[in-house]
Amino acid sequence: MMLFNIFHRPGPGAHYDIYRQQQELAHQLGLKTTIFLYYSDLFDPRAIADAIHDRDTHGDEISLALHNLTGPEITEISNGQIALWLLDRERKEQILARMIGKFAEVFGANPTSIGSYHLDSSCLEVLRRLAPEARTVIGGCFEEGVRVFHGCNHSWYLFNEGMPWNPWYPSKTHGLRPARDEDDAAGVVAVPHLVRDMSLAFEGRNDFWASHPPNVIRGMGNDASFCPYDLNLIDQYRMQAEWNGGYSYYNTFVSPSWLDWNHNSEYPPEVAWELYRKFLTYMASLKKDGQLEDLTLSAYGERHRQIRPVGHDEVYLAKELLYGSGKHYFWFVDPAYRVTIDATQGGSIGDLRPYAGQAPVATGPDTPHRDIGSYPYLIQSQHRSGNAHHCYDGARTTLLLKHAGQTLDLCNYRTKVASVTRADDRVKATLTPVSFTFADGLAGELTTTYEFGNGVITISRQVSGLSAQADLELIEYFKGAPGRTEYPEDLHGIILEANGSSPVQREFDYSGQWIDAPGATEVAAVIPHVRTRLSLTSNSAASGRVHAGHLFSPYFTLQLAHRLTGNGTTRTCLNLTPIAA
Amino acid sequence: MSESNSYRSVMRCPVCFSRDTDVLMIHTGTDFHYCTKCSFQGLESEIRGMYRDIQKKFHNMGKRITLEEQRAL
């Protein structure tokens, strides 16, 4: 069953008529919407009357949009800042108090839901205090933030990265981190602003590839009013119900300006309208077939509380749709981490967010984070190179397979996700086998299986079908660095550790030196930046190595080596454990 | 949605767009549109051809892939 939200908001001038046409289209199709009114709309009798009419006639919800901080007694506080989360705490509270007070004055009650591109931890705290009735929010825009620095024009930074792709319970200390438990939870259910293509949103601009037909036009993914991609993406989300308790989630939020002539499209408005109509018509057909339920945002929030307990995990198997590349990505998120497996790079980890450390972030000029509300990464292979493509590699994991003086790097082998299963509170993803051949003719297959959950990622490597009984060395490899953008952070303060016959404990010093740890069954990095200790452990390991990269390659690297003679399987745990702040 | 809307003559630079950046070109009333960020300038017909080139990488742009077909991908 797909649960679906439609969000609409009025626009100024001629765009108001477009908003009304959007509402009319949804209602003709028998679909409910949630109407987001800006503060300035709360002074417009027509906008108020129409919203009340739609609520009373069609069951829509009237909600408050926090963006565009203009209107009486607010413009002079915001001073041109349009994003609430980028103000200092005092101004956030002043503006929220005025907005919520005006909403209650107009509608006789506080809003039951709130819309924002992002809600940082201080916004959430103020919001919960001023409007406890607002139990559901639009709370983030997936990766659309510092990544957009790569690709966006000069005026449009939203600063969200490292968040869940599906609805979540924001924690008190970071609005994008899913809460561990009720005590850790900020008290709301958050949904993303649009859902994203979990292949292309990872590789590039996620604003193009999302549940928003005119955005796909912006990305040039359409051929005039022919754009099957819009429906393909819906079906890919429907597929996720298989691994997520029978439910999937989708929303759309097309504002009127996208259905008019606009600078993000070289097509006339009729094309955007036609694609939006096809999109909603498909949703209506799914509803008619009993495969979709349309809800207001608040109703979704209450449903979420019934079907997803705080602390739940979420799985997404992404199969790239538009290029026809055949690429698979596998995503897993729970309160301990969010991880992306890049199956096309042999199952390398492409992105890792260590939620376990519960790194606190609030944004605003009164915070050290200023404008960057991301949840920091330890691996982000798009920002930080990943597999080597011209010089050194960057942040990634891999398996190095060694034999007779030759090293094969699993990142250079394409796989797919062969199966995803759930058992014993853990999720298992098995990749298709890789066929390998060494220069001396030794050949075989290697199959990787991941298990996720409870703060651990277990990596199994099964070697089978070896053409001869031979010695192999299998080295689990982790190269990472705490970061928030493309640029390196100061890595001083990281401690590299290993056990074994010559235990290692060494401060990260940019020396570029490898330190061997014979007999090690654990190698680790203590990373105060993210309040996390990351370790690789395996009782069957033979040795380890740790490395403090120099300034031209600013990463720490951990290696844990196994030796096999003939076929066999190794198991390594990647552990993320919190450390004291 | 007037046909005479000024956006009608606004196009994004195909060179900048090919590196994922939206940059609106300026149309001075001559046949050429020019980019404010890079050195590209071109005729509308040429620009639209370049948009088509950008889309060539989307091999499945015209392909409906149903839920059942995606399960098998």
Q: Give me the pLDDT at residue A340, please.
A: 98
- List the one residue out of A246, A22, A44, A25 whose CA is nearest residue A35: A22
User: pTM surpassing 0.90?
Assistant: yes
Q: At what angle do helices A89-107 and A45-58 cross, to 10 degrees?
A: 70
- List the one residue out of A23, A72, A82, A67 whose CA is nearest residue A44: A72
3-state SS class at A537 = strand
Q: Give me the pLDDT at residue A551, please.
A: 97
For the domain with range A2-319, which CATH number is right: 3.20.20.510, 3.30.390.50, 1.10.150.20, 3.30.1330.60?
A: 3.20.20.510
Q: Which of B61, B66, B68, B69 has the highest number of chain A CBs within 10 A, making it the mutation to test binding with A?
A: B61
Complex ipTM value: 0.94
d(Cα A164, Cα A195) in Å, to the nearest integer? 10
d(Cα A100, Cα A66) in Å, to the nearest integer? 10
Spell out the domain ranges in chain A: 2-319, 328-578
d(Cα A116, Cα A67) in Å, to the nearest integer? 6
Burial of A441 (0-12, 13-18, 19+ CB in 10 A): exposed
CB contact under 8 A, A264 and B22: yes
3-state SS class at A274 = helix
Tokens 């319970």 correspond to: A169
Question: Is residue A565 within 8 angstroms of chain B, CB to CB?
Answer: no
**Does domain A328-578 correspond to CATH entry 2.70.98.10?**
yes
* CB-based contact A429:A452 (threshold 8 Å): yes
- For residue range B30-48, what is the model confidence (pLDDT) as tens digits? 789 999 889 999 999 999 9
Name the residue among A150, A220, A263 with its Cβ closest to that of B7. Answer: A263
Closest approach of A523 to chain B, Cα-based (Å): 38
Question: Is residue A327 within 8 angstroms of chain B, CB to CB?
Answer: no
Q: What average pLDDT values come out for chain A (581 residues) when binned by 10 residues?
A: 98 96 98 97 98 98 94 94 93 98 98 95 97 97 65 59 96 98 98 96 89 97 97 98 98 97 92 98 98 98 98 97 98 98 98 98 94 93 88 95 98 98 94 98 98 96 98 98 93 98 98 98 98 98 98 97 98 97 78
